[in-house]
A and B are shown apart, each in its own frame.
Chain A
């Protein structure tokens, strides 16, 4: 199959998901969750896979987006689009402001400074009980029907899935365009050889900053949808463990490919959902999947589809 045909098939499958997923034992909200996590991880992969920055605190922006959206609905205005907008801005701006702290660091130091920032946000949310609900999470808000002129679209599960799919499409288009642009090429150049770029007179820091900030906006965007999925968000959505899960989903799917994270998310989320219903020992099976994928697929699962990939 050509690449175009594969992608067309993927989109048809996604559009038709509410019909076929229940037939094979899934449920629409699971489809929404996969797409939401796919937006988040593909956003993160701009930093991780394409720019080569080991961002390990990405859940912070995901969670900030969620709290931004939830608190907008709870305290400010009952409007779903505004909640998404404000949540995205909150998370994205946080990443943008903190980018300069991060952009000079590399390797494990990049990972640890992003963890440090992420955990600080986590503790703020956990301790700020009166506003955020603390450890118990933020509840008591609900996604609102969308008003388009005179048309009112109720956000039922299926409609919400299509909203998420729409958001996914927009995010994919934005990221794809970025990666084709000079900015995207610079990111890859930074990943491949940062020093040579410096010799050419390019200052990689600014591009890393851009990458980190944009990834922040995209993950926060996903975070807002995540809060709307079950009308609930909790500090666990900011914790480094979720950040780690995001990284793992990306590595599972293949961090050098654009759609790799989507594959990783499908494996991670669906396997967890399915296996944990079957057996108490689901963690062993998930763990085995991780171990086997590392040993058998050197470039993540998507690596075998990637013609340019060389087996190490």
Chain B
């Protein structure tokens, strides 16, 4: 029983991380209508930049600057590569393009930083368990939860109360009308893509605290995030967070009883959700069909 509780709680913590990844992906999917296969690439960019910067800025500085730079690179990529293909009706072209981009990013990362795994040192303050019994609750994991919560709440406030946020939401539900009302949707979409990449970069730095840094590290994290979005419901940012938590929890519970299925269970959940409630738990009907 204690093991189950531990694993369930542990799964939730892990779910927070999926949620953070999913938030960025969901932003880009909603407004830019881009299935961003390069999301893992931006994650890696953020992490490696933070690694390079941390000797100069410290961990904390790198944690802020790394993701910001990933966001800036995202802006540039949107401007140069993504913008020309918005008018293609089929999202498959964006998939092919971002897939190519993901290959390029992984390869450039390997060329610049090398294939050898690199350690990102985490400050000692947060690098140990909070209590002896609940050893799996480490300062670092609490920190990740805090950052994710702050990012999610910040995003919520932005979308809810700022002009930019209202425009992003309007664009998500009806892009053409929003454009007709005089909103510069190109700028809007560019900013949104940049935000998404910033989130990816942030997830990257946080991941680098528990994982080794390698050029392909983003690849294995991207699919659970897509699953989180689908389970939570496309078009709902809160859904993405919920989806992330749920798959983490499910994986945690299953691992207690039948560890061999702990990876498969998130796909099984997605299958069931799609079969019973296609738009996801909190999704709106009709989006991306």
Contacts and interface: CB of A to CB of B under 8 A. Distances in A.
Contacts of B226: 112, 115
B274 A287 contact: no
A309 interface: no
Interface residues of B, number: 43
B263 A123 contact: yes
A101 B278 CA distance: 11
B96 A119 contact: no
Contact of B274 (A54, A116, A284): A116
B81 interface: yes
B274 A251 contact: no
A247 B95 contact: yes
Contact of B264 (A119, A282, A286): A119
A287 B100 contact: yes
Interface in B220-235: 223, 226-227, 230, 234
B111 interface: yes
B288 A290 contact: no
B1 interface: no
Interface string A97-124: 0000100111111001101110110011
A138 interface: no
Interface string A286-298: 1111110111001
A286 B100 contact: yes
B274 A113 contact: yes
Contacts of A289: 100
A288 B100 contact: yes
B268 interface: yes
B181 to A, nearest CB: 26
B107 A284 contact: yes
A252 interface: yes
A179 B47 CA distance: 49
Interface string B255-289: 00000110110011011001100110000000011
B100 A115 contact: no
Interface string A206-238: 000000000000000000000000000000000
A247 B108 contact: no
Given A251-B93, A283-B104, A287-B104, A115 B267 contact: yes
Nearest to B37: A244
Contacts of A124: 264
B245 interface: no
A249 to B, nearest CB: 10
A216 B89 CA distance: 27
A281 B107 contact: yes
B234 A108 contact: yes
23 contacts: A101-B275, A104-B278, A107-B288, A108-B288, A109-B279, A113-B271, A116-B227, A120-B264, A123-B263, A123-B264, A240-B223, A244-B37, A244-B99, A247-B92, A248-B96, A283-B103, A284-B103, A287-B100, A287-B101, A287-B102, A287-B104, A291-B100, A294-B93
